[in-house]
């Protein structure tokens, strides 16, 4: 592969956002019921890249998109959860799954993580 093509493929910065999607295998939409928003993370722990420019792309008052992320860099997101008003506690715990996908330039699937919401059992 010519060097100019390789550089274009491996060094083009992307806009990185996230998408949360419910696992439809249960009766509760975990994203609608429990996820308030997904924000860019400024964590200094783990492999998270620091000092990437961020923007509030959906205009909700918190930054949710990284700008200029180079391929191979790690961008992290924080999930803000809603207070549980959707599922009443019973004598057993309830588990609901959702997927969080990182998306580059609104097209490229950059990876995903499975998340779980656990509604604790009622303690008599």
pLDDT for 28: 94
The boundaries of the domain holding residue 36 are 3-119
User: Quick check: is 98 in a domain?
Assistant: yes
User: Quick check: is 63 in a domain?
Assistant: yes
pLDDT reading at 84 higher than 70: yes
pLDDT reading at 3 higher than 50: no
Cα 55-70-99 angle, rounded to 5 deg = 65
Residue 99 and residue 82: Cα distance in Å, rounded? Answer: 16
pLDDT tens column, 21-78: 999 998 899 999 999 999 998 876 777 766 788 999 999 999 999 999 988 888 889 9
User: Quick check: is 86 in a domain?
Assistant: yes
- pTM for this model (two decimals): 0.81
User: Quick check: is 124 in a domain?
Assistant: no
User: Quick check: is 112 in a domain?
Assistant: yes
User: Quick check: is 29 in a domain?
Assistant: yes
User: Quick check: is 78 in a domain?
Assistant: yes
pLDDT for 36: 95
Mean pLDDT of the chain: 87
pLDDT reading at 4 higher than 60: no
pLDDT reading at 102 higher than 60: yes
Cα 33-24-108 angle, rounded to 5 deg = 95
Tell me, letter by letter, the H, E, C secondary structure of 40-107: ECCCCCCCCCCCCCEECCCCCCCCCEEEEECCCCCCCEEEEECCCCCCCCCCCCEEEEEEEEEEECCC
How many domains in the chain?
1
pLDDT for 93: 94
Strands 54-55 and 14-22: unpaired
Percentage of the chain lying above the pLDDT 70 cut: 90
User: Quick check: is 35 in a domain?
Assistant: yes
């Amino acid at each position: 592969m010519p060097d100019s093509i390789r550089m274009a493929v491996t060094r083009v910065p992307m806009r990185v956002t996230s998408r949360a999607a419910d696992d439809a295998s249960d009766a509760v939409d975990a994203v609608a019921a429990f996820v308030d928003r997904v924000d860019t993370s400024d964590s200094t722990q783990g492999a998270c890249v620091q000092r990437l420019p961020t923007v509030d792309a959906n205009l909700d008052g918190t930054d949710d998109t990284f700008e200029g992320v180079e391929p191979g860099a790690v961008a992290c997101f924080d999930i803000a959860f809603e207070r549980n008003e959707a599922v009443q506690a019973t004598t057993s715990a309830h588990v609901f799954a959702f997927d969080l996908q990182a998306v580059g330039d609104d097209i490229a699937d950059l990876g995903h993580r499975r998340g779980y919401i656990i509604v604790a059992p009622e303690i008599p």
